[in-house]
Amino acid sequence: MTAIMDIAGVSKRFVHELDTAERIARALGARVEERTVHAVEAVDLTIASGEVLGLVGESGCGKSTLGRMVAGLLTPSEGAIRFRGADIAKLTGKAARESALKVQMIFQDPMSSLNPRLRVGTIVGEAPVVHSIVTRAERDGYVAEMLSHVGLDPEMLRRYPHQFSGGQRQRIGIARALAVKPEFLVCDEAVAALDVSIQAQVLNLFMRLRETFDLTYLFISHDLGVVEHISDRIAVMYLGRIVEEGPTEAIFAAANHPYTQALLAERPVIAPGKRQFSTIRGEIPSPLKPPPGCHFHPRCPHAFARCRTERPALREIAPGRLSACHLNEAS
Amino acid sequence: MTSPLLQVEDLCTHFFTRAGVAKAVDGVSFSLARGEILGLVGESGSGKSVTGFSILGLVDPPGRIVTGRVLFDGRDLASLDDEKLRAIRGKRIAMIFQDPMMTLNPVLRIDTQMVEAVLAHSSVSRQAALERCRQVLSMVGIPAPDERLASYPHHFSGGMRQRVAIAIALLHEPDLIIADEPTTALDVTIQAQILAEVQKLAAQTGTALIWISHDLAVVSALADRIAVMYAGRIVEQARAADVIEAPLHPYTRGLIDSVPSRNRRGSPLRQITGMAPSILNLPKGCAFRLRCPRADSVCLEAPSEVEHRPSQWARCFHSHLADARADVLA
């Protein structure tokens, strides 16, 4: 198993800089400070060639930011993201363009990621022509082929995005990503906006394409059911940090981190009969002011003194399984 | 037997657009007993929200209720004028929306909004109104209600805002709450908190609930009965456990089977082929016909709602095939 994507010590901070009024206020002695959001904090993750890694977490946990950095849309504040051994932030010229083509992204909302004024033929066919994958004359034939790969009628290439349903639009987004012959797809909540029956169709498509094109996925989702189904391995994020990582089956059978346990316990499953929801206390803290120590400690039923001061390291608890929890050492 | 709290009879709400008549709700009937929780399930465009809006007379032009009756405690809401409806809305029937920012005014403090809602329906002192607000806020699990009352909606997180919206719905101890996708925008752990509160409140206050959702999993855990909508009609309704364990309609079956957790990991999901038809241009007969593996020439007629098993209704000519379950999805 070779690592295709290696994320090493990656952090991303967003700094809200002071505006003029705030700078003046500070000069006059008011206590105004720059606000920093630690969206992603020292994340290490490797993704093997051909695998599907599911990245799970609730809103604001940094999973999309991490995905965007992997796709090259954001640059890390610290650390390196290496695709096939090369740090993508340090590549220049031809090498940078080629590496960027190999990693493509699929977004949650296909309506805001497809240009409403372009025909499908242009949306899907523009990049391959620009990057000389096909000639302009071959474009329509190539687009038609891509459309049939994603289960759309090749005749539709003269249509505009608004003439499609939500599920079909998502397929266009997938066809656009595939058209530049990528090896790695970052799917950011790619099925979240779809109805259940359509979601199943698109998930099936993802699984089929993985076989056909030998793809590797970073599959980002808040939906545990979806991630369980499609992923080989899972990483769980909470407030910018990875708290647990391991093979899907092992995590779903016995989650180690209290946060993962809570997520699994609270996910609604279809079952006959009412069920009593029990809740983890509290809210997700603001990433502007994360709690010290373990980020989960204010909500954790097992928290003790050490959790409030010391950040737990992500340690191996079994072969291939990592968890960041002090409880693993206490016992 | 006591009469039901709410009885919807043959409700049709159509939208008269330039592109044609959209039959968003087309002959929906159901009833709801006091204290009962009904889950109204369907995909986008199935008419579940419009059904909820129609009950409260909140359908705006070009839509209107064409036919049908909405009997609430014996009175037909569909025939009441605005004045009389307003006396019922918020007092006896309350609504909770998907996005709490739709309910809350962003430029008013929570106490201003809540006191206004109290005084709209009861003549009490401002002091007593505030007391009532504090009471309901702590009922929905908001810590330090006094502090929270003096805050603005943007001070709250999404989950907290939804709690405030639920608290406002509870102000007048309504007989019925219509909740339209109230937890869809929330994270899993926050959704569980809200569902736990709702379960507790429904049990304590005896309020009946119509819980509109696309998420069968949430509804199956919460509701006493489930009604499944497809293209403006209820295609199946029964007790929640019956719908989940032994669905009669192929659409219900397909919805349940296409959920990832009901499939073996990694294997292709059982899927419903095709997509929902446009309500502007429904196929003749059964609307599900073109996606249905059971369909044959009989389905060119529209099926009526038939009680195939005791208290389990479905609109399907082939419900007897439901027991041989392998038929639906390849």
pLDDT tens digits for A288-321? 788 889 999 988 888 899 999 999 999 999 998 9
* CB environment B281-301: b (16+ within 10 A), e (fewer): ebeebbbbbebbebbeeebee
What pLDDT score does B329 carry? Answer: 45
- Interchain pair B189, A274: CB under 8 A: no
Which residues of A lie inside 8 Å of B (Cβ-Cβ)?
Answer: 58-59, 165-168, 195-201, 203-204, 207-208, 222, 224-226, 228-230, 248-249, 262-263, 266-280, 283-284
Greater confidence (B215 vs B325) lies with B215
Query: What is chain B's alpha carbon radius of gyration, rounded to the nearest angstrom?
Result: 21
How confident is residue B321, by pLDDT bands cut at 50, 70 and 90? confident
The position carrying tokens 């279809």 is A270
pTM: 0.84
**pLDDT per position as a tens digit, B119-147:** 999 889 999 999 999 988 888 878 788 88
Domain interval for residue B300: 247-327
- Interchain pair B261, A200: CB under 8 A: no
Count CA atoms within 13 Å of residue A279 on its CB side.
20
Average pLDDT, chain A: 88
Domains in chain A: boundaries: 3-231, 255-331
Secondary structure (DSSP) of B211-280: EEES-HHHHHHH-SEEEEEETTEEEEEEEHHHHHHS--SHHHHHHHHTSGGGS-TTSPPP---S-PPPTT
In a domain, residue B240? The reply is no
Contacts of B265 in chain A (CB under 8 A): 228-229, 248-249
Closest listed residue to residue A123, CA positions, set A108, A110, A109:
A110
Whether the Cβ atoms of residue A108 and residue A68 lie closer than 8 Å to each other: no
Q: How far is A159 from chain B (nearest CA, A)?
A: 18
In chain B, which residue's Cα lies nearest the Cα of A59?
B187
Domain count for chain B, please give it.
Answer: 2
What pLDDT score does B282 carry? Answer: 85
In a domain, residue B136? The reply is yes
Whether the Cβ atoms of residue A322 and residue A314 lie closer than 8 Å to each other: yes
Q: How far is A277 from chain B (nearest CA, A)?
A: 5
- Interchain pair B240, A222: CB under 8 A: no
- Interchain pair A200, B258: CB under 8 A: yes
Question: Which of A168, A261, A277 would you mutate first to test chain B, the one with the most B CBs within 10 A?
Answer: A277
Residue B330 has pLDDT above 70, yes or no: no
Instruction: For residue B260, give the nearest of A225, A268, A273 by CB distance.
Output: A225
- Interchain pair B275, A198: CB under 8 A: yes
Q: Determine what percent of chain A is predicted with pLDDT higher than 90.
A: 52
In a domain, residue B241? The reply is no
Q: What CATH number should be reported for the domain whose range is A3-231?
A: 3.40.50.300
What pLDDT score does A230 carry? Answer: 92
**pLDDT per position as a tens digit, A256-292:** 999 999 888 888 888 777 777 766 677 777 777 888 8
- Interchain pair B259, A228: CB under 8 A: no
Q: How far is A129 from chain B (nearest CA, A)?
A: 32
How confident is residue B322, by pLDDT bands cut at 50, 70 and 90? low
In a domain, residue B139? The reply is yes
**pLDDT per position as a tens digit, B40-57:** 998 888 899 999 999 998
Contacts of A234 in chain B (CB under 8 A): none
In a domain, residue B96? The reply is no
Instruction: For residue A268, give the nearest of B193, B217, B266 by CB distance.
Output: B217
How confident is residue A330, by pLDDT bands cut at 50, 70 and 90? low
In chain A, which residue's Cα lies nearest the Cα of B219?
A270
ipTM above 0.95, yes or no: no
Q: How far is A298 from chain B (nearest CA, A)?
A: 14
Q: How far is A18 from chain B (nearest CA, A)?
A: 21
CA B198 and chain centroid, separation = 14
Residue A232 has pLDDT above 90, yes or no: yes
